[in-house]
Structure 1
């Protein structure tokens, strides 16, 4: 067995404090990561923790906020494949501040770590992303997805003749997929309050210390933002199991 030249991360933060207003009424009595994918009997965060464990993560810190007690109760009763602790924001800290607050509870502060938004359902090789991060000497690496546009597209020629109709084509742009690899030192670069995507990330980009990892071809990725996303995720799951 080949020993990697660096330690793969074995700890992660899951940001699970959002209110999920666009998923109402599902989120009237539970936080967004506790919404179940229809047909699975498992909430979004359950799928995430199983994936993280399969990728070598042994410890996860879940950052709670909206209806935190519902999520904490489920975590206390669930049979989980890794150790999980929770932290709760007593006041709004913003995305960057919340991430910093949660990272303070990671068990190995001198080691790299993963982070993921609590409304992402995905499967791809995290270790490959960690290797990409290490090879580039980055402080932070973002997973990049190319989602499908929710509308049909129309292809025309230079004379304005319609050539074809394309249902939900891939976006021409890559987007932040909500999954990250961070160096051990990254926590110190985060704001105590505020949004790291407006402060820390732009600064690291200017210094060429921020990397972007395109998800491998065929990797499954979906952000669960609306009821339509739940329906489509369930249909995709049924298609994959046939």
Structure 2
């Protein structure tokens, strides 16, 4: 493998869009979670994701569908898309790892690296920077890491139990998996046929020091759209942007 090939940025991606989205009801009663619109934009979450991927040099995306797949497929047919999109449908739930493996089989360049994202993530940051980080570390898989805000106010006390301060929605002391990935070509073969890669594949790679974590750049926008409150917050943030 030549060094120029090693440093070419991925041009293909998988979007996992098969979840039930039960916590987003009633929005998900008649559509899969990625088809829920961000209020005020007129565009579903997956539309924002595809635009972001295209702006980062992705030319081909494979969308893994499950729950109410036809709603998503109909939208993809009618929308003006900024890149080529293929859909694959899970006939039965394969779990996130199995879903990834099933979708990755349809990527156009099986010998090249690829991005992946969960279908409920709304974010903006440089995927190319993340791919360079992945390649510099010679990682098999790299996950983006976010530092979410704790949804409750925090109370600061001293050692005597005196309350010193109230902090509204402080940033978490922990980094979390942001649901966006860069995978080397070899990663697909490590995925389970069925089940969750985060319980098996990721811990194994971590033990072997082949899993890298890319902290989202300071100020990067990131939100997981998991509940109706997340939709409201996203709309509010959009208005303030």
Q: TM-score, normalised by structure 1?
A: 0.97
Map of 2:185 onto structure 1: 184
Contact 2:224/2:230 (8 A) holds in 1: yes
Structure 2: runs of 5 or more not aligned: none
Map of 2:209 onto structure 1: 208
Map of 1:19 onto structure 2: 20
**Secondary structure, aligned partner of 2:130:** helix
CA RMSD of aligned residues (A): 0.9
Map of 1:68 onto structure 2: 69
Question: What do the CA deviations read for 1:20-73 (whole angstroms, capped 9, x no partner)?
Answer: 000000000000000000000000000000000000000000000000000000
Map of 1:30 onto structure 2: 31
Report how many residues are paired: 238
Q: Distance in 2 between matches of 1:30 and 1:92?
A: 17
Structure 1: runs of 5 or more not aligned: none
Tell me by how many angstroms 1:163 deviates: 1.1
Tell me by how many angstroms 1:94 deviates: 0.9
Aligned pairs for 1:125-164 (under 5 A) are: 125-164=126-165
**Secondary structure, aligned partner of 2:185:** coil
Map of 1:228 onto structure 2: 229
Tell me by how many angstroms 1:80 deviates: 0.6
**Secondary structure, aligned partner of 1:130:** helix
Map of 1:81 onto structure 2: 82
Q: TM-score, normalised by structure 2?
A: 0.97
Map of 1:109 onto structure 2: 110
Question: Against the structure 1 CA distance between its residues 4 and 187, is the aligned structure 2 distance closer, same or farther, given a 3 Å change threshold?
Answer: closer
Tell me by how many angstroms 1:96 deviates: 0.5
**Secondary structure, aligned partner of 1:150:** coil
Tell me by how many angstroms 1:159 deviates: 1.4
Tell me by how many angstroms 1:157 deviates: 1.4
Q: Distance in 2 between matches of 1:99 and 1:108?
A: 15
Q: Distance in 2 between matches of 1:62 and 1:53?
A: 14
Q: Which contiguous aligned blocks of 4+ residues in structure 1 show a shift greater than 4 angstroms?
A: none
Tell me by how many angstroms 1:4 deviates: 8.5
Tell me by how many angstroms 1:79 deviates: 0.3
**Secondary structure, aligned partner of 1:185:** helix
